[in-house]
Amino acid sequence: MSNGAAEITKAKVSPMAPTEGTKPKITLPEAKEPLPKNLAATRLEEELNAGINPEEVMRSFIEEVEAKDNGNKGDNVKQEKKHKKDQKAKDEKPTEKEFISKVNKILFKLLDTNIINNTPSSDPEWGYRLEYTVKIDQAIELLERYKANEPKPTKEDQTFSETTEILRKEATEALTRVIDVFVEKGFLSEELQRQIRRLIKPSNIEIVTTDYHRFLYLKNTFPEEPEDEGVIQVGVELINLMERDLGRIFSEMGIGLSPEQIRKIALIQGLSHEFGHIVDRVLRLMEIEKRITSAGESLSETAIRVDREIDDFLRREFPDEELEEILKNEPENGTFTYPGNCYSEKIATGFELIGLTEALLSEGVSASDVDKIMEALYTEKSRRLEEYKRLISFSRQKGFNLETLGEAIDHLAYYLKKQGKTDLRDMLPPSFGIRTIGYYRPLNPDQIRKFILSNC
């Protein structure tokens, strides 16, 4: 959607790591004690002398002063230790145990055992020289081993018993509700609502078996015929996983909701994410339409220009230090390093959390419990980001950048398909690169509002 004219948007929605067996914990922000000027200076000096990256020192300094401004009390020594630990973690080789995410664990193993390595190679199938080597047979063997060790789904996991038609109806109702929520909350002007209706109807839902949902629309202009309209594919497997994870959180917090209510919340959460992609797409289509009638430029040129301009706007208006830090040693605008892909997920995940909040409240969850759930989700997102950064850092130690590693993963995925091993595909990340960062660093509601207002 954001990177080029006719890209299929595939948005995986699994904010609570349903596939990875993680258990969100509610952690309150670490408290800090007031920071006198001299203590701050001494600490800065110590960190500089300890050889910690000066940018990290600056960020840590800002955080501590802000914590002081917020009047937090507590153990700042703990903070300092955490900071030094983070830096140490960056420089040291991780172990497999440190990775909770299944796909991160496997990627770590593929790199650590040199099954994927940075020796250039050639592949007659691909016809050009590759900057890496993938030992296909060994890779498949490793993926099969991990697959065999995966816990088999229990009866409880297979809760989904509705027919496709009932689920389609429920998903349509959920999408209608999602649109209402964003209208009620003032995110969508009448004009924007009208334009959204040009692209998709709430009933344009397809039920598929996948563990992700996705919004599909291939054209750079609004559809002229109903059969060209956008479609949301709703993945049954993802609904099951989200229901299971939401159920676990509710049960840990002592919140009693029925399976039907949990299903409804899961659907609204997932469809809010997809709706974020829809709004993003509509804003771009509107701009393309405006330009094409006045500019005399070719459609694809205009589409690419509009994408670039909107993506640049997002990066400029909502700068993300974590993202920029990761991009520092990466090629500009590669397939796996194009910032627009990250912002696309930042927008969609921002929508998702707004939708989830509203769904929880409308199912009777108290405002304070909603806050706690959100806190838990953000904590989990931060943990996942740290884990991802650890993987990136390790791949750099092994001579890869994100772009080359992404290509190597695609290469392996190609051979899985070619050799009929498609059941192993879910052992590799569904999408790789900085797009993933977007799931962990969503835009907040004010930023989403600003994004819409500035591009509408």
Work out the burial of residue 328: count CB atoms within 10 Å of its CB; fewer than 13 is exposed, 13-18 middle, 19 or more buried: exposed
Show the binding pattern over residues 283-322: x = contacts other proteins (CB under 8 A), - = does not.
------------------------------------x-x-
Q: How far apart are CA 320 and CA 339, in angstroms?
A: 10
Indicate which single residue of 324, 371, 417, 418 sits in contact with other proteins (rule: CB under 8 A).
Answer: 324
Q: Residue 356 CB, nearest distance to other proteins (Å)?
A: 31
Q: Which range of residues in 170-178, 186-194, 323-331, 383-391 is near other proteins by CB under 8 A? A: 323-331
Q: What token pair was written down for 184?
A: 């009620």
Cβ distance 390 to 93 under 8 Å? no
* Residue 55 vs 252, nearer CB to other proteins: 55
The footprint of other proteins on this chain (CB under 8 A) covers a number of residues equal to 25
Q: How far apart are CA 111 and CA 399, in angstroms?
A: 10
* Residue 152 vs 328, nearer CB to other proteins: 328
Cβ distance 206 to 232 under 8 Å? yes
Does residue number 328 form part of the binding site for other proteins (CB under 8 A)? yes
* Residue 287 vs 320, nearer CB to other proteins: 320
Q: Which range of residues in 64-72, 94-102, 141-149, 362-370 is near other proteins by CB under 8 A? A: 64-72
Q: Residue 42 CB, nearest distance to other proteins (Å)?
A: 8
For residue 259, what is the DSSP state?
Answer: H
Q: Residue 389 CB, nearest distance to other proteins (Å)?
A: 16
* Residue 58 vs 77, nearer CB to other proteins: 58
What own/partner pairs with CB < 8 Å and gap ≥ 24 does 69-78 have?
72/29, 72/31, 72/32, 72/33, 73/31, 73/32, 73/33, 73/34, 74/30, 74/31, 74/32, 74/33, 75/30, 75/31, 75/32, 75/33, 76/32, 76/33, 76/35, 78/30
Indicate which single residue of 69, 141, 150, 228 sits in contact with other proteins (rule: CB under 8 A).
Answer: 69
Q: Which range of residues in 45-53, 95-103, 168-176, 382-390 is near other proteins by CB under 8 A? A: 45-53
Does residue number 326 form part of the binding site for other proteins (CB under 8 A)? no
Place of tokens 């998903």: 171
Residue type at position 254 = G
**378 CB contacts (<8 Å, ≥6 apart)?**
none
Does residue number 150 form part of the binding site for other proteins (CB under 8 A)? no
Does residue number 35 form part of the binding site for other proteins (CB under 8 A)? yes
Q: Residue 90 CB, nearest distance to other proteins (Å)?
A: 15
Cβ distance 389 to 52 under 8 Å? no
Indicate which single residue of 28, 38, 97, 446 sits in contact with other proteins (rule: CB under 8 A).
Answer: 38
To which H or E segment does residue 232 belong?
A: strand 231-235
Tell me the pairing of strands 214-216 and 129-130: unpaired
* Residue 30 vs 66, nearer CB to other proteins: 66
Does residue number 89 form part of the binding site for other proteins (CB under 8 A)? no
Catalog residues that contact other proteins under the rule CB under 8 A: 35, 37-38, 40-41, 44-45, 48, 53-55, 57-59, 61-62, 65-66, 68-69, 319, 321, 324, 327-328
